[in-house]
Amino acid sequence: MKPAKTLATLLLLLLVFNLAGCYDRRDIERRTAILAIGIDKNPEDEKGLEVTAQIAIYHNVGKTVGGSEEGGEGAPIQVTTVQGPSIGTALEKLAGMVNNPIFLGHTMLLAISQEAAAQGIYPLLDYFLRNNDFRRKSWLIITPGSAKELLALTSPLHPLPPFYILTSLESLANNKAIPIMRFEDFIFRFNSPSKQPVAVMLRAAGDKVELEGLAAFDRERMVGRLSPAELRIFLYLSQAKGRGLINLLEPTSGQIEFSYEIRNSNRRVLTKVEEKKLSFVIDLWVEGNIIENPGQVDLDDEAIIKALEQRLSAQLAGECQRLIRKIQRELKTDILNLSEYVRARHPHYYKDVDWSEEFPTVAIKVQATTHIRRLGLRRK
Amino acid sequence: MAQKKRPIKLKELTAQRKKERILQNPPRELTGDLNIDLSLLDKLLHRSADIVIREFTLSAGEGIGVGLVYADALVDKQVIDQDIMQPLMHLARLSHLDQILTKDNAFQYVEEHLLTIGEIRITNKLDAILGGVLYGDTAILLDGSSFAILANTKGWSMRTPSEPNVEAVVRGPREGFTETLIVNLGLIRRRLKDPDLSVEIMEIGKRSKTSISLLYVADLASPELIRRLRQRLKNISIDGIVDSGYIEQLIEDSTISPFPQILSTERPDKVVANLLEGRAAILVDGTPFALIAPAVWAQFFHSPEDYYERSHIATFIRLIRLLAMTFSLTLPAIYIAFTSFHPEMLPTTLALAIAAARSRVPFSLFLETLIMETMVEVLREASVRLPGPIGPTIGIVGGLVLGDAAVGAGIVSPLTVIVVAITAIGSFASPSYSGAISFRILRYPLMFLAATFGFYGIIIGLILIVIHVASLHSLGVPYLAPYAPFHLEGQKDAILRLPWPYFWQRPTEIRPQDTERMPRPRGKNKVGGKPDHEGQ
Amino acid sequence: MKDSRKNQITSLQAAAIVASSIIGVGILTLPREVAAAAGTDGPLATLLGGGIAALLLLLLTKLGLRFPRHSLMEYSNMILGAILGRLLSLLFLVYWFLLTAILVRTFGEMVITAILPNTPLEIIIGIMLLLGAQLAAQDIKVFARIHEILLPLTIIPLLFLFLNSINAINPLHLLPILAFGPWPLIKGALATGLSFLGIESVLMLLPYYSKPQEAVKSHLYGILIPIVLYFTIVTMGLGTFGDTALQYLQWPALEQIRLAALPSMPSVFERLESIFIGIWVVVLFTSTGSLYLMVILGIRQLLGLKQQKRNRFYHYILTIPLFFLARLPQNVIAVETYARVISQAGIVLVIVGPGLLYLMALIRQKRGEEG
């Protein structure tokens, strides 16, 4: 009577389950979903934090997602700010203010103010790292103003404010205008000794967000910022296959001669150790199209195109060199992850030197090759 | 009482010996000795009960013996009575043929003057005779003649076999079994004119005395299987058998299991296909459902149509069915687990939509799903019981109106209705009603488990189901064959359905005596010969 | 009684049992352990460890094939004599017993951390033990069939889930290879050794094979599956995280799955870890069931009990001591420490025990009767 026993076991288990109760059952609408979290320094308390949360109001969300006919007229989210010495205590305080337990499983955005990040970002992240619900694919962004301000922003472009920011970020990332730097990516860079973390910076401007550039970190401390223009160059130099515009100026008048759009970029990092001295050559290769030609440069000749390519290459290499100088001299943090190459290719050298001291002085040379592929619908 | 033992006459003894010798080693042609020939035919037809052998004496002449052999189910008895029996027994005498007929000329005379049947054939080949008899002809044998007359007496009267309504197919025969055993036997015989198709009739039920026939192809089905099946049938001791369901439950290996271990069908083509694979079928008088044993789990999502359609579409449809059956088993449980335990698994927009829709629903998600599932079962039951045209109407009215009203009233969330509807539709996609039932039942424990432990609970439930199913056997054949024990050749007709030329081998898990149904393809000389089977 | 053992496990099932007995907790923690020991040599170290395990499995098979109708508990008596033989058997039994407990506990820890934070540990552990007992209570051939059917249902999705994150791999993370000599490689291979425990199940199951002559082949196929799986997991983990970041993760494999969304349908399943945990429950169930069966068979043969078909109640009684044993460690770190100690002892036992037996059998020219 084996099946009898199986069935009896099944029934017994069922009974046990029902007597034991359902410890973790909590229907989705009985959880307070926090869609975005902002972290600022507490203006009143030097050591304290100010945590801002965007809480979904389900019966008002109805109309904004899924095409449900129901849904109230009120705002779909509520922005609540709490203060506390740590993330955990602040969220605990928040939990006391809402009617259901806090649920971080759908948090899409973690915004941290520059001020707070400059003091050290790791203490702000550890809570989320240990939390099982918090999703690793949330975006981590740094804002120069206050995170509270960023989260309070509402845009007519999307009924749900956190989705407006999220979709903006994703669209930028799809266009290769920003690196994909989500929570997980940040943490892995942070935890790898041969890498340095970076984070995208966004600024609230009225009812819009504006790309502010890239925050550069030295381990957990934010040490500086790349402007949006520098961010483009950074993308060419990292593995992100970045895209972007280069304007070539007429040498005499300073007018824009023509604009070249990089559609695809790639780079190779060559390393060399000579006499215990390390040097890098970054071999940059880009291809793209001419998208605007206000200077009416004659394009109808292969030789001219070649010459233009050379000018573009020189300009690109110069801009890269400038950015690298800024990173080496000013930021002094290896956000290009060059040490990863040293670790992989020269393990003994890497073991022997202290890379963070070596980095600002190491020789880095950029070579650029540019290809003009297409001219658009005009011949000249 | 004490009868004196009469010494057997030498002549009788030699005749007996001769008969035995011939029966031992059947020739290919008639011998001319009526007694021996009839015995021979009887033996070749495995003494099947639907074969009638009639012996009588020609009414004229020197007492010439006549033998009629026909298949009861396939002949028009009126033709036999009026056009064969009457002339031979009656008209012969009236025609004053006494002086003319001798053993030597009787055959010719009967053929030329007495039989009032249009189409006759004369043959001395046993094969031809058997073929004719199994196709509704009547074989007329005369003593002293080594030829037989095959008279066309085809004509079977039966309830017009209507289209099977439980197992409908798009392409394939439209005939279904009826309630008459002999008609059903005819439906099978007509499709399988193999003299080796053996029909054993037995009576089960002390009061009902229901005729039950055990069908198998004698040189295909494993003798062990038939012995076991026969034994189990014989062991049944009950007052009455009303439907084949009785037999199914009385002979299956595990009656407590929710999974049926014997296939039931109302399609003769399905029975024939299974007989040809070496399985056995049980037909019960009074019910249009035949039983097929041994059955494996894979068969419960196979439809006979799969074998008639092109293989690509058949494979695709099998996958769809599997998906539908998985849905009908697990979807409500997964829904509960995702929304009540792991909402982080859902895409954010979907999660928000569900939460928004549920924000006004008074019941917990589990209770809501449970109520809706039960309501669907109630609706289904009601629409089956209601007479003819009202049934489907109630289904639609109940489903649409109630569901819509419930959503409108805010008692139920729309997604629950969708989930429950998909589940219900999924359970209809199974070609076997009894196979679908097991999943319908097991859905509830899974829902309870999901409501207690979320995804972990579902996995626990599925593990228990796998343990249980793996421990099942159908007449000694592992229920999960050909998946476990795995058999590569069997995979051609499991989830996949390869084109027919690939099916040169019969399913080996049921151990047919002859494993090949068509010549081995070239280059297939050694593999697939002896599969690695577990011991019994 | 001897005859009832024959023809229970086909060669394919034997391979499946070997594979699913090996694959267990290892897939969760292996990348971290290998990275800690071998750094970027991790993938190679995994292969080396797998190779060593395969050789060891070969030795166990050879030993078993000398006594094709007897299990470890029986031929250790025949080779070493009643007292020493029993002692060795007892050691194995205790090791299996402890391993079952720690396995179930590790499982419970992960379930609580990852999916059911509020459910008492006792319930999760208890259910898993009962499931294992239920599997072990089946006939050997049903047991084999369950392994056979569950193995592809777990391995294929697992490989799929892990290969899914191939886009996230940075080839630089896999370099340098063998930069610091062979020592990290050896250390890494030893670290993987813990994950290959489970091969000793063949010592108990060999007498049930229907074709013992194919045992070597099917065992090698069987161990190939975990080698491939482990190699994939370690390579993917290392390639995604890099060797240092990997060491910060409690369960690297879980983290890896968290990152992977199906690129073709990112919005259908935002996070795949529940599926992974589901599969992992099945994986752990098969290895718990295997270990449980070892314990049951071991006790039965050590005490000389007859195999009783009717009453298998005592199979479930064993869950009680196992349950309390599994509850013993105070926290995650303690669980891991215990697990390490037990499996290191296990490695020694699995190498030394059968090695000794094989040597003695060769010296004393002992051999079991042919099947």
Instruction: Tell me, yes or no, whether B328 and B456 share the same domain.
Output: yes
Last residue of a domain, one of B449, B478, B507: B478
Interface test with C, best of A1, A18, A192 (most C CBs within 10 A): A192
Q: Considering CB atoms only, which of C131, C211, C271 is closest to B345?
A: C271
Instruction: Tell me, yes or no, whether B61 and B190 share the same domain.
Output: no
Q: What is the pLDDT of residue B528?
A: 46
Q: Considering CB atoms only, which of C115, C142, C282 is closest to B342?
A: C115
Residues 6+ apart with CB under 8 A from B223: B513
Is B239 inside any structural domain? Answer: yes
Token pair recorded at residue B442: 């097991």
Secondary structure element (H or E) that encloses residue B380, with its range: helix B365-385
What is the Cα B369 distance to its own chain's centre? 38
Residues C316-330: tens digit of each pLDDT:
888 888 899 888 888
- Please judge whether C245 and A13 are an interchain contact, meaning their C-beta atoms are less than 8 angstroms apart: no
B268 in Cβ contact with B187 (< 8 Å): yes
Nearest to C276 by CA among C258, C292, C288: C258
Residues 6+ apart with CB under 8 A from C131: B460, B463, B464, C285, C288, C289
User: If you average pLDDT over residues C250-273, what whole number do you get?
Assistant: 68
How many Å lie between the alpha carbon of A67 and the closest alpha carbon of chain B?
A: 8
B216, pLDDT greater than 60: yes
Share of chain B above pLDDT 70, in %: 94
How many Å lie between the alpha carbon of A43 and the closest alpha carbon of chain C?
A: 33
Q: What is the pLDDT of residue C230?
A: 93
Please tell me the distance from the alpha carbon of residue C258 to that of residue C165, in angstroms, as a whole number. Answer: 10
Instruction: Tell me, yes or no, whether B447 and B327 share the same domain.
Output: yes
Radius of gyration of chain C (CA): 20
SS3 assignment, position B5? coil
Q: Considering CB atoms only, which of A6, A23, A136 is closest to C258?
A: A136
Prior bond of B294 cis (ω within 30°): yes
Instruction: Give chain A positions within 8 Å (CB) of C173.
Output: 340, 344
Least confident of A12-16, B293-297, C177-181: A12-16
- Please judge whether C245 and A344 are an interchain contact, meaning their C-beta atoms are less than 8 angstroms apart: no
Confirm or reject contact between A66 and chain B (CB < 8 A).
yes
Interface test with A, best of C32, C115, C118 (most A CBs within 10 A): C118
In one letter, which amino acid is A168?
S
Domain that holds residue B216: 181-295
Q: What is the pLDDT of residue A64?
A: 60
Which residues does B contribute to its contact with A (CB < 8 Å)?
254, 256-257, 339-341, 343-344, 346, 348-361, 364-366, 414, 445, 448-449, 451-454, 457, 460, 464, 467-468, 471-472
Please tell me the distance from the alpha carbon of residue A162 to that of residue A55, in angstroms, as a whole number. Answer: 10
3-state SS record for chain A: CHHHHHHHHHHHHHHHHHHHCCCCCCCHHHCEEEEEEEEEECCCCCCCEEEEEEEECHHHHCCCCCCCCCCCCCCCEEEEEEEECCHHHHHHHHHHHCCCCEECCCCCEEEEEHHHHHCCCHHHHHHHHHCCCCCCCCEEEEECCCHHHHHHCCCCCCCCHHHHHHHHHHHHHHCCCCCCCEHHHHHHHHHCCCCCCEEEEEEEECCEEEEEEEEEEECCEEEEEECHHHHHHHHHHCCCCCCEEEEEECCCCCCEEEEEEEEEEEEEEEEEEECCEEEEEEEEEEEEEEEECCCCCCCCCHHHHHHHHHHHHHHHHHHHHHHHHHHHHHHCCCCCCHHHHHHHHCHHHHHHCCHHHHHHHCEEEEEEEEEEEECCCCCC
Instruction: Tell me, yes or no, whether B312 and B448 share the same domain.
Output: yes
B16, pLDDT greater than 70: yes
B491, pLDDT greater than 90: no
Q: What is the pLDDT of residue B532?
A: 52
Please tell me the distance from the alpha carbon of residue C357 to that of residue C339, in angstroms, as a whole number. Answer: 26
Place B529 in a pLDDT band, splitting at 50, 70 and 90. Answer: very low
Instruction: Tell me, yes or no, whether B335 and B459 share the same domain.
Output: yes
B485: left (phi over 0), alpha (psi -120 to 50) or beta: beta
Give me the domains of chain A, ranges plus CATH numbers. 27-226 (no CATH), 228-374 (3.30.300.210)
Highest-scoring range by mean pLDDT, B137-146, B230-239, B357-366: B230-239
Is B461 inside any structural domain? Answer: yes
Instruction: Give chain B positions within 8 Å (CB) of A68.
Output: 353, 356-357, 414
- Please judge whether C12 and B486 are an interchain contact, meaning their C-beta atoms are less than 8 angstroms apart: yes
Quickly list H helices, B77-222.
Answer: 77-79, 86, 92-94, 106-109, 126-133, 181-191
Place B77 in a pLDDT band, splitting at 50, 70 and 90. Answer: confident
More confident residue, C40 or A19: C40
Q: What is the pLDDT of residue B335?
A: 92
Confirm or reject contact between B460 and chain C (CB < 8 A).
yes
How many Å lie between the alpha carbon of B323 and the closest alpha carbon of chain C?
A: 15
User: If you average pLDDT over residues C360-366, what whole number do you get?
Assistant: 82
Last residue of a domain, one of B273, B295, B317: B295
Instruction: Tell me, yes or no, whether B368 and B271 share the same domain.
Output: no
What does DSSP assign to residue B334?
A: H
- Computed over every residue of chain A, the mean pLDDT equals 83
- Please judge whether A136 and C179 are an interchain contact, meaning their C-beta atoms are less than 8 angstroms apart: no
What does DSSP assign to residue B345?
A: G
User: If you average pLDDT over residues A313-318, what whole number do you get?
Assistant: 89
How many Å lie between the alpha carbon of C2 and the closest alpha carbon of chain B?
A: 14
Q: What is the pLDDT of residue A179?
A: 85
Is ipTM > 0.90 here?
Answer: yes
Place B127 in a pLDDT band, splitting at 50, 70 and 90. Answer: confident
Nearest CA in chain B to C266: B347
Please tell me the distance from the alpha carbon of residue B321 to that of residue B339, in angstroms, as a whole number. Answer: 26
Nearest CA in chain A to B407: A70
- Please judge whether B459 and C6 are an interchain contact, meaning their C-beta atoms are less than 8 angstroms apart: no
C224, pLDDT greater than 90: yes
DSSP code string of B272-304: HHHHHTT-EEEEETT-S-EEEES--GGGGG--T
Is B246 inside any structural domain? Answer: yes
What residues 312-371 of chain A have any CB closer than 8 A to a CB of chain C? 340-341, 343-345, 347-348
Is B148 inside any structural domain? Answer: yes
User: If you average pLDDT over residues B237-261, what whole number do you get?
Assistant: 90
CA angle B214, B215, B220 (to 5 degrees): 130
Q: Considering CB atoms only, which of B341, B349, B360 is closest to A59?
A: B360
B217, pLDDT greater than 90: yes
CA distance to A237, A282, A334, A356, C192, per residue, from A338 (Å): 10, 10, 7, 11, 31
Prior bond of B482 cis (ω within 30°): yes
Instruction: Tell me, yes or no, whether B331 and B253 share the same domain.
Output: no
- Please judge whether A28 and B460 are an interchain contact, meaning their C-beta atoms are less than 8 angstroms apart: no
- Please judge whether A191 and C244 are an interchain contact, meaning their C-beta atoms are less than 8 angstroms apart: yes
Q: What is the pLDDT of residue B331?
A: 93
Q: CATH for C3-364, among 3.40.50.620, 1.20.1740.10, 3.90.1150.10, 1.10.10.10?
A: 1.20.1740.10
- Please judge whether B349 and A66 are an interchain contact, meaning their C-beta atoms are less than 8 angstroms apart: yes
Place A241 in a pLDDT band, splitting at 50, 70 and 90. Answer: confident
Nearest CA in chain A to C120: A23
A295 in Cβ contact with A256 (< 8 Å): yes
Residues 6+ apart with CB under 8 A from C289: C131, C132, C134, C135, C136, C143, C146
Task: Indicate the burial class of B377 (C-beta count within 10 angstroms; 0-12, 13-18, 19 or more).
Answer: middle
More confident residue, A296 or C40: C40
B143, pLDDT greater than 80: yes
Q: What is the pLDDT of residue A233?
A: 86
C262, pLDDT greater than 60: no
Q: Considering CB atoms only, which of C138, C149, C210 is closest to B484?
A: C149
Instruction: Tell me, yes or no, whether B320 and B430 share the same domain.
Output: yes
Last residue of a domain, one of B425, B450, B478: B478
Place B536 in a pLDDT band, splitting at 50, 70 and 90. Answer: very low
Least confident of A220-229, B311-320, B460-469: A220-229
Q: What is the pLDDT of residue B158?
A: 60
Is B217 inside any structural domain? Answer: yes
Please tell me the distance from the alpha carbon of residue C182 to that of residue C187, in angstroms, as a whole number. Answer: 9
Please tell me the distance from the alpha carbon of residue C159 to that of residue C232, in angstroms, as a whole number. Answer: 8
Highest-scoring range by mean pLDDT, A258-262, B324-328, C163-167: B324-328
More confident residue, A1 or A288: A288
Residues B35-76: tens digit of each pLDDT:
888 888 888 888 888 888 888 887 777 778 888 888 888 888
Instruction: Tell me, yes or no, whether B119 and B210 share the same domain.
Output: no
- How many structural domains does chain B have? 3
Secondary structure element (H or E) that encloses residue B473, with its range: strand B473-474
Q: What is the pLDDT of residue C2?
A: 41
More confident residue, B534 or B68: B68
Instruction: Tell me, yes or no, whether B140 and B201 share the same domain.
Output: no
Instruction: Tell me, yes or no, whether B235 and B114 share the same domain.
Output: no
Secondary structure element (H or E) that encloses residue B450, with its range: helix B433-471
- Computed over every residue of chain C, the mean pLDDT equals 85
Instruction: Tell me, yes or no, whether B329 and B452 share the same domain.
Output: yes
Q: What is the largest CA-CA distance in chain A?
A: 98
Confirm or reject contact between B466 and chain C (CB < 8 A).
yes
Instruction: Give chain A positions within 8 Å (CB) of B467.
Output: 6
CA distance to A81, A139, A209, C34, C336, per residue, from A149 (Å): 11, 17, 11, 46, 45
Is B378 inside any structural domain? Answer: yes
